């Protein structure tokens, strides 16, 4: 879990306490599949847009070959193609309201602003699978799987 409210975390920049901690934890990990999550997405087509302030944390995740990053903040669903092996999901579909998407950020593979929903994530030995279901009445679904590297 990353604290992406950077000011309260002592910063998210290169050399910040959190960036140093993250790199250390990831360097000592023997996991074959790794998931990280924070409130703010690095990439988003939504109202708040991409958050460049967490780029050093994103770089640390990519350098360590982390597979998944989960975020909210923008109140919609969005799945991105892996970037250097790291796939991001924005799942802000359980909040107070749904926000529109305002742009199409490069790498966005699926987006939904039609209502609330839930992401089911299965972590398997050497792979992962996801299924997002919009509610009510399953108006939208997005599912797939990928191998861990």
Residue boundaries of the structural domains of the chain: 6-114
Q: What is the pLDDT of residue 135?
A: 85
Strand pairing report for 141-147 and 87-91 = unpaired
Q: What is the pTM of this model?
A: 0.95
Strand pairing report for 108-112 and 87-91 = unpaired
Q: What is the pLDDT of residue 139?
A: 78
DSSP 149: -
Q: What is the pLDDT of residue 136?
A: 74
pLDDT by position in tens, the chain (length 149): 999 999 988 999 999 999 999 999 999 999 989 999 999 999 999 999 899 999 999 999 999 999 999 999 999 999 999 999 999 999 999 978 998 999 999 999 999 998 999 999 999 989 999 999 988 766 799 999 999 98
Q: What is the pLDDT of residue 95?
A: 77
Domain formed by 6-114, architecture: 4-Layer Sandwich (3.60)
Length of the chain measured in residues: 149
């Amino acid at each position: 879990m990353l604290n992406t409210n950077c000011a309260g975390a002592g910063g998210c920049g290169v050399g910040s306490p959190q960036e140093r901690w993250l790199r250390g934890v990831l360097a000592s990990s023997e996991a074959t599949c790794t998931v990280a999550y924070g409130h703010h997405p690095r990439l988003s087509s939504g109202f708040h847009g991409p958050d460049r302030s967490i780029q050093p944390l994103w770089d640390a995740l990519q350098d360590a070959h982390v597979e998944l990053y989960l975020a909210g903040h923008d109140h919609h669903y969005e799945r991105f193609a892996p970037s250097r092996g790291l796939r991001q999901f924005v799942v802000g579909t359980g909040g107070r309201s749904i926000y529109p998407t305002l742009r199409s950020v490069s790498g966005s593979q699926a987006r939904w602003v039609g209502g609330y929903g839930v992401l089911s994530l299965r972590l398997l030995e050497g792979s992962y699978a996801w299924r997002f279901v919009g509610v009510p009445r399953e108006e939208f679904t997005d599912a797939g799987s990928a191998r861990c590297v």
